[in-house]
């Protein structure tokens, strides 16, 4: 069962991002990488996984502020600091980055 969180708004997203030691955030416009992201959430239970659906315009300012121009983009934060960015549906690369940071 997926453990991916889908915040309702930007303040809730920011609260999640700052309350968790390691967090992986998927910014996406379609479902192409979503099932792989769900699988990663099961594989790494100590990491919080957050899905941001960019089809909803409320997220556009956040994406602009984070410099996200291509989708999907996965950003991984550790202790509130950006630790890695992966552009594209690259499950192996995202998994490697999470594995390095989650220990």
pLDDT on residue 85: 97
Q: How confident is the model at residue 1 (pLDDT cuts 50, 70, 90)?
A: low
pLDDT on residue 89: 93
Q: How many other CB atoms sit within 10 Å of the CB of residue 68?
A: 20
Domain that holds residue 49: 4-101
Evaluate the CA torsion angle 54, 57, 62, 68 in order and state its sign: positive
Q: What share of the chain is helix, strand, coil (3-state, %, to 5)?
A: 40, 25, 35
For 20-79, the pLDDT digits (tens) are 889 999 999 999 899 999 999 999 999 999 999 999 999 999 999 999 999 999 999 999
Q: How far apart are CA 95 and CA 78, in angstroms?
A: 14
Query: What is the edge-to-edge ordering of all strands in the sheet holding 48-53?
Result: 4-5, 48-53, 22-28, 73-78, 81-87
Residue 58 sits in a domain of what CATH number?
Answer: 3.40.30.10
Helix and strand numbers, DSSP H then E, in the chain: 4, 5
> What is the total count of domains within the chain?
1
């Amino acid at each position: 069962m997926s453990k991916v969180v889908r915040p309702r708004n930007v303040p809730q997203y920011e609260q999640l991002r700052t309350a968790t030691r390691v967090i992986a955030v998927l910014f996406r416009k379609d479902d192409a990488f979503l099932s792989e992201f769900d699988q990663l959430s099961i594989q790494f239970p100590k990491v919080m996984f957050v899905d941001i659906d960019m089809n909803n315009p409320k997220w556009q300012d956040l994406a602009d502020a984070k410099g996200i121009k291509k989708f999907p983009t996965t950003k991984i934060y550790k202790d509130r600091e950006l630790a890695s960015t992966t552009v594209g549906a690259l499950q192996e690369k995202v998994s490697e980055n999470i594995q390095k940071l989650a220990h």
